[in-house]
Structures are given as C-alpha cells and as structure tokens.
Chain A
C-alpha cells in the first residue's frame, strides 16, 4: 500500500493547544502556496499506485474549494490513483456547507474527518474553536445528504471539567452519523497559548489518572456500540478503518506534499520545511536513513499501537530476535504482552501505558 499526504497549513484561527504547522491570517499566501504545492506534486521523482490520499492541515475545508480540486487533479495527473482509493479531507464543522460538501464529493473525496473535539460549547470556546454544538450536527447532516458514508470525528480527552457521562453522551449523539472516532488526549505542548494558561492557572486540566480512567470507560462504551478499537486512539465500524493511517503504522510507503509534510520511502524519512520560505526553497526539516536498529524500533513501536500487533517473524528477518529480550519475557509473564498467531500484541488493558511497554522493548 502507498499513500499521499497533502498539507494545507491554513486555519481561520489558531486553537489554543495547537503546535502543528498551521497559520491563521495568512490568506494572502494561499495563491502562491497552492501554486508551489502543485509544482511539488508534478515534479515528484516518484511514481507509484496510490491507495489513499489524505488532505490534512491546518483546516483544508477553510480554503477555496477550487484549490483542493486543483491539487487532487495534479495528483491524479502525476500518479495512478486506485479506483478504490480512500480520499480523506479534514474539515471543521463551521467551514462545511452544502455546496462545499457536494463539491468535495464531486471531485472524488470519499471520506471526511471532522474536528469536533467536544460538544460542550463552553469548552469549545475556551479552546479557541470556532464552531459550536449545533454546527457540528448541521455539518454532519449536510455531509450525509451530500452522500458521505465514511465520516470520522476527532474527539479530545482530558479537557477542563471533563465528565465521563458527558463523553458518553457525545458518542451517543454522534454515532449515528459517523463510522469512525479518533480519541486523542489533550497534550500541553511547549510554547502554545494553552501551556501559558495551564501555568497561570486559568485553565485547569484533569489529572492524567482521571483522563485515563475516562479513556478506559469510553473505549468500552465505543466497542459496545460497534466501534472496534483497531489502534490506541482509533475506533471504527467494521470495514471503516482508516486506510491512510493504517499505512503509516504498517510502515507502508507514503509521500507528503506541502509545508512540513512527512514522507517515507524505502526506509528513508524526510520532511519539508516548516515555514513558507523554507518550504518554497525546498529546504527539508528532516532527512534520515533509518538504521537497522531504528527499523526494529519502529516495527515494535508502531505495531504495538495497533490491535494487530507486530510480526515476530518479520522482526527476526530484520535480524532481531525478540525472544532473547529479557524484558519481553518479563512482559509476557506479566500478561502485558501476548502472542496471537505469530503476532505480538499488547493487552488492551495496557494501551494506556503503551509508551512504557514499548520503551522496554526497544
């Protein structure tokens, strides 16, 4: 499998917690940016059959829809895109309307990933999100009407005054519209406005213990409602796993286009520059050829994020015999890890402590 990621670094406003490569108030830059983006796609040195395209950001739904169309056609003219390819666009509820949704559908986009985050208007406002509860459902209804089957909602955990019952209610309200949930924990990143607010006490976040407790309960609730946990943060109805993300975790090839976008081809990872200037000049923010050790680390790290685990034999072929790892044996004995048809998997009860488990194996 191979994928293409396209980064749209524009937002109507910057959310408090955001540390991603995205910019608000840079609309004047858009024309030039999309021009350069097209050039980058068309001049790519790679050719392969594309199984998934992910248009992420930023807020791709906030820019002129014709830019999106141009980018998609550029990809299609340069690469062979499979008929069944999953083509996702990220969107915010407030920037989706009937016309835009129908347009997206018409140009071949078949999956929406909507940044809902929460249905609590107070929290949304505090986080700097521009939408409210009602807009979420307006957008979802319009999406359905436009013919979108495959819809993901991003939800944030660990927000101020979080109550499990409210999370449960959110899922209950959303589940009939969506096929997929991504549940992330709010992370206080350095140099964000959120970090300042946490430090000065104007935002009080729940303890990690509380958040993990809510996460564990929510996980169960989602499964009960037919959303299968196929990765630490991702839940899908049968047949609706996100192919694009699975490709990341399975270490398939992918190309990233646009500011800050990451690529992975033949055990090489690289990323574009993180400012407009760096990106336009073709400067990279990362370039690395993975060492054997790093490859093994990645197989373990990415495999254990997923329900499907990692392949023991595959690792052995890469020169690493995990059976010889003392910690592996210990973790197996503690029933934190288990083996299932040649695959090493993590006990779902320990998803929350996955970093600690992974770290012991690498």
Chain B
C-alpha cells in the first residue's frame, strides 16, 4: 500500500515531482492570541534574540552553512542515513521519526525506490560553533536523472553512500559522476557495516579504483543502528566547502524542485547563489521570462517556516502566487525583475517525456473523473504530459508521456489509489521519428497513428547509452541479452576481480519491454543497470496488429523491429489466448503485419458451466451469482463481439517466463 502522503511528522514523504506541501508553522502560531501582555514580552525577547542572531549570522554567514545531498545506489541506505542525521542533530525527536521511517520503508519495500524528502535544515554544534546543514534529498532512479542533477547543482557537497557488502553499483557510479559534473566535493560513506557480509576495506578500495575518488578515510557507519553518525556530521562540516556567492550582488537563484500548495500556489524550492530575496520583491523566471511578486520566503525546519529574507548560500522556498507548476521549471534561474543578473545558471533543460502509453477508464463513463485526476496530478508534476486519445477498442482516454517506466507506474498507481479509478493502461512505448516519403517528419508514440508503409521513407527510434555492472561470470548472459535486444556493443571493463562493467547502446523501446526482468533473471539479480538517452537511430520497424475474430483491436497494436515481429506476434497471440476467456463461439486471435498474418491462436468455444442445484427454492442466490458474474464483465471490453478483460492490454508488456 502507498502510505498516505501527508502522514509523516517530519516531512511529507514524497514521490518525485508529486509532492504535498510541508506543514506550515504559521498556521499553528496564529492559534494562541488570547493573552496580550505575556505575548508582548515574548515579542521583545524574540526581537532581541533575532537581532543578535542576525548580527552573528551576517558576520560569518557563509562559513557556517553547508549545503549537501546524499546519493546512492538503490537500497544502499540513503533515507536511513538522512533520518539518522535529522535525529542526531535533534531536528526532530526520535519519537517523531518513527512514522517517517515506517512510511518510507513501506513505500520502499513495495516499489524498491527511495523517497525524496523536501530539504531539511539541521543545526549542528561542532567545536562550540553552530553550523547550519542543509540536506537536499534526491530521487534515486534513472527516470529522474535531470531532477537529481538540479538538486546536486544546489549543493557544494555530496555524501556518496556505498553498501559495505554490495560495493559500487551502477547508480553509485552514475550518481558520483553527476556529482563530479556539478563540481561537488564527494564524501564517500561506507554503510551497513553491521552486516556480517560487510567488507568495508575492500569496498573503499573499490570506490578508489572504480569511481576514482579517495576513500581511505571514508566513515564506516551503520545508519540502521546509528554507528559513527557523528563522524559523518563532523566530516560534513570539515570536508564540504561553505557556499560562496555575493550577498550584495544581483539575485541569482536556482529552482531545484517545486510543489503545489492549494493556498500559496506553486512553491519554488531554491538555492540562492547571489544576492538576496525577500517578500515584496519582483522576481523573474529567466527561462519563461515571467515575473511574479514574492509573497513569502522561508526555510524548512523541516516544516516550512517563513523568514524575512533568503541570502546567497541559503536553501529555502519562495512563494509568489504562481498559479501553475508549469511556470516553475526545475533548473530555471530566478532573478530580480528590476535588477536582473546577466546570465542564467547553467544546466537548464526542458524535461521531455520518453515513455508513452494510453490510459483509459475501465468504466467508460468515468472519463471526466480520469481527466480530473490527471489534472490534479499534473499540478504537482510538471513532467507529466497528456492529451486526449480515442481508441476504437477502449473508447475515450488519454495518451500520456512519462520520464520513464517507474514514473508511469507511479502515476497509474496514484490514479487508482488516490482517485479510486480503475484504469486500463496500454503497453508502454517510446516515440518515433517517422520520415515520410513526402519529406514530412512525424513524431509519434501511438502505434495506431503510424502511416501506411508506402508513405514511410524510414523510421528513427530513440537509443540509450546503458552500463551494466555485474560479476564477471554473467558477462556472457548479459551480452547475449543485449545482442538479443538489438544492442550495439561499446565497451567491457574489468573494474576489479569480481566486477565488470558492460557498456551497450540499446534501443529504448527494448528496454521498456522486458529488459529489467530479463536482466534480473539472467544474472540472478546481481547486475545493476543505468542508462542515459543517446539520440535517435534509423531502424527497420513495423507495426504488428492484433485481430480478434477478424477485427483489428487498435489498442493492442505495437511497433517492433522487423526481425522481432514474428516472435513478438507469436508471443502475443499465445498470451492473449491465455487471458481471453472462452466465449460462446470460437475466437481466432491473429497477429498481422499489414494484411499478412504472422501468427494465429484460437480460443475454443465455451460449453462448460456449472449445473448447480437450484436448491429448495433459493432463487436469490442464483440471481446474485449471475449479477456478480455480470458485474465482473464490466471490466471487459468488447472488440466486435469478443469480450476481452482489461488485463489483456497490459499483457503486451509482460510475457512470463514460459513465453520467452
């Protein structure tokens, strides 16, 4: 089960790009207004303290700030260490941590992904000096590489967690490189030393050899039981540089994340590099060129707390009645509209979806509800794209674009769980560049909109650069898989005795088909995998259609490489034969390229039924059973006269082992 998003006490545990606003402290503060006299005293006391604090801070502000993030391969303990740091610095009491931990573990167990938290400011006393540590969390999945890179860009340092028994994995390296690209100081930390299989010294050497950064003095910790957490805090202060930047310069502020608040509008999570920003300032988004008036600035402690001003070096948030999240582009630079800086911060990219699928309501009458759900999700997720789609088989729905398969899965699950809608998702696909003979270039992701073969000159499909890490004994199996997936061999590196890195260029379409599952089963789960987009390549692609009882079912069409068309067609018809229940008549299932049938299966006619005793006049039971049976059919779709269950549409993606 997905935990309710607003349950965490410390911070809402959040799905990437889909966050709920943290609790506001101003609301609670407003509650106690009855007795004025003591409040006045408190007010002056606060004022004095604030003044004093402000003086201290301005004297050596930068020196006492550390902005950092934690990066790791999946399951190496990122969230646990974050929790431990928050607990150790007393930012939250241990009691309040409990919910957070439980929630995150439940989510992680289910999806195998790490949750991203909103940033947290922790105060840490080191050698008599109080330091302000800003932890910026990053999503730990390849779908969100760009978001990770922007979070990293907001920091000066990165803690690189490596599991003491598993060692360096694909995402360890990918994340370390991202951090290096952003010129961050990297502090390796060896985690899970409490495990019997821990081999910290070897792992340190591995980090040096593979990642190429010094690791001999890396703290060896157990985030689980709290061992050596102090060392990590100390090293954050000692190793990570304090932020630089000119507080009196022109405002230059990086948006590294955003969320939507029902009252305040789109909230920018920002790192100020130069200048300062306060309520009332007129700001400008440098990419969109839109201007807004700042209505609130604040920090995360970890709930939102308004402050007077955010200065160079600070991490915080900024609200300015921005109506849509689309105006808050992650990676964009905020400057002062009246005194703009000359140059935006580097690294901005427009986020483009790479995986697409159709989403339809199981109950056709719920189209509007589905639309509302997507609209609400989009409020918090600028990368989600959708447009209306009409399918002959599935009726009215939406063609949706995602950053990757995980993103797709998260969104479809949220629609089902949070909006209580049953949906049919069609097989995920990529988008193709179709060069027509008349010179026109179409960009399309929906197989049914592919023009007829005579109109097509050639088609290009997206490729990725993939690196796979695994023990050497699996190299053969991995290469075989990559070849089978039309991969182009690039490189093979022995990282150390027990570790090999295999680089391939692979079509993205093959990866989203069943690459992960195949890789996992062929390497007994020992391989790790990471990829980045690598442009388009010309491919010999065809559309395979599925005919049920002679009628084409548009929602089941796929685009596939010519060499694979027969095998996929066969696998599909076999799979559909298992899924489509027997009807009152025989149902032929055919796969076809154009008019040519390439595979055929038959679902034989149904003649069986249970002749149950209609006992003692209990007609009600019989009627209810039939009504239930009828209700069950509501999840079915009719193609011509053939009823097919919703699952059939997803089955294109997943072929079980017996089918391979």
Contact = CB atoms under 8 A, between A and B. Distances in A.
A286 B614 contact: no
A20 B630 CA distance: 25
Nearest to A244: B617
Given A20-B615, A356-B584, A298 B623 contact: yes
Given A254-B617, A262-B619, A301-B623, A185 B630 contact: no
Contacts of B623: 294, 297-298, 301
Interface string B594-630: 0000000000001111111111111110110111011
A261 B614 CA distance: 13
A184 B611 contact: yes
Interface in B19-73: none
B595 to A, nearest CB: 27
A56 B614 CA distance: 13
A185 B607 contact: no
Interface stretch (A65-73, A94-102, A317-325, A328-336): A328-336
B612 A286 contact: no
Nearest to A294: B623
Given A248-B614, A334-B584, A356 B609 contact: yes
Interface string A282-308: 000010100000100110011001000
Nearest to B617: A262
B617 A256 contact: yes
Interface stretch (A118-126, A162-170, A205-213): A205-213
B616 A5 contact: yes
Nearest to A327: B641
Given A297-B626, A298-B623, A362-B630, A353 B616 contact: no
B331 to A, nearest CB: 54
B177 interface: no
A269 interface: yes
Interface string B618-650: 111011011101100100000001000000000
A230 to B, nearest CB: 14
Contacts of B419: none
A155 to B, nearest CB: 11
A211 B607 CA distance: 11
A143 interface: no
B616 A233 contact: no
B585 interface: yes
Given A211-B608, A233-B613, A355-B609, A350 B626 contact: no
Given A184-B612, A185-B611, A353 B626 contact: no
B626 A301 contact: yes
A256 B609 contact: no
B627 A362 contact: yes
Contacts of B616: 5, 7, 54, 56, 256, 260-262
Contacts of A305: 614
B608 A208 contact: yes
Interface in A176-211: 182-185, 187, 208-209, 211
Interface centre among B608, B616, B630 (most CB of A within 10 A): B616
Given A5-B617, A264-B617, A301-B626, A353 B609 contact: yes
B620 A233 contact: no
Given A262-B616, A262-B617, A301-B622, A334 B609 contact: no
A336 B619 contact: no
A279 interface: no
Contacts of B627: 297, 362
A185 B629 contact: no
Contacts of A263: 617
A232 interface: yes
B609 A352 contact: yes
Contacts of B614: 245, 248-249, 305
Nearest to B585: A334
Contacts of A248: 614, 617, 619
Chain B contact patch, size range: 20 to 34
A353 B584 CA distance: 8
A187 B610 contact: yes
Contact of A350 (B607, B618, B625): B607
Contacts of A331: 584
Contacts of A254: 617
Interface string B423-449: 000000000000000000000000000
B470 to A, nearest CB: 40
Interface centre among A183, A184, A288 (most CB of B within 10 A): A184
Nearest to B613: A184
Given A336-B584, A353-B584, A355-B626, A183 B620 contact: no
A354 B613 CA distance: 14
A253 to B, nearest CB: 10
A357 to B, nearest CB: 7
A33 interface: no
Contacts of B630: 359, 362
Nearest to A186: B610
A1 interface: no
A260 B623 CA distance: 18
A271 interface: yes
B617 A353 contact: no
Contact of A359 (B613, B618, B626): B626
Contacts of B618: 262, 271
Interface centre among B609, B615, B625 (most CB of A within 10 A): B609
Contacts of A310: none
Contacts of B612: 184-185, 187
Contacts of B607: 209, 212, 216, 349-350, 352-353
Contacts of B620: 262, 269, 271, 286, 288
A358 interface: yes
A228 interface: no
A226 to B, nearest CB: 21
A233 B613 CA distance: 8
A343 to B, nearest CB: 20
Nearest to B628: A359
A334 to B, nearest CB: 6
Nearest to A209: B608
A215 interface: yes
B162 to A, nearest CB: 47
Contacts of A260: 616
Contacts of A233: 611, 613
Contacts of A349: 607
A212 B641 CA distance: 24
Interface string A208-245: 11011001100000000000000011000000000001
Interface centre among B606, B611, B627 (most CB of A within 10 A): B611
A261 B613 CA distance: 15
Nearest to B630: A359
B201 to A, nearest CB: 52
A359 B633 contact: yes
A111 to B, nearest CB: 16
A298 B625 CA distance: 12
Nearest to A256: B617
A185 B613 CA distance: 8
Given A269-B619, A350-B607, A362-B627, A357 B584 contact: yes
Given A7-B616, A248-B617, A185 B610 contact: yes
Contacts of B622: 301
Nearest to B622: A301
Nearest to B606: A353
Contacts of A5: 616-617
Contacts of A183: 611
In the A-B complex, the 5 residue pairs with the closest CB atoms: A212-B608, A208-B608, A262-B617, A352-B607, A355-B609
27 contacts: A184-B612, A185-B611, A208-B610, A212-B607, A212-B608, A215-B611, A232-B611, A233-B613, A248-B614, A248-B619, A249-B614, A264-B619, A288-B620, A297-B623, A298-B623, A301-B626, A302-B619, A331-B584, A352-B611, A353-B608, A355-B609, A355-B625, A356-B583, A358-B626, A359-B629, A362-B626, A362-B630
Given A298-B623, A357-B584, 6 more contacts: A184-B612, A216-B607, A288-B620, A302-B619, A350-B584, A362-B627
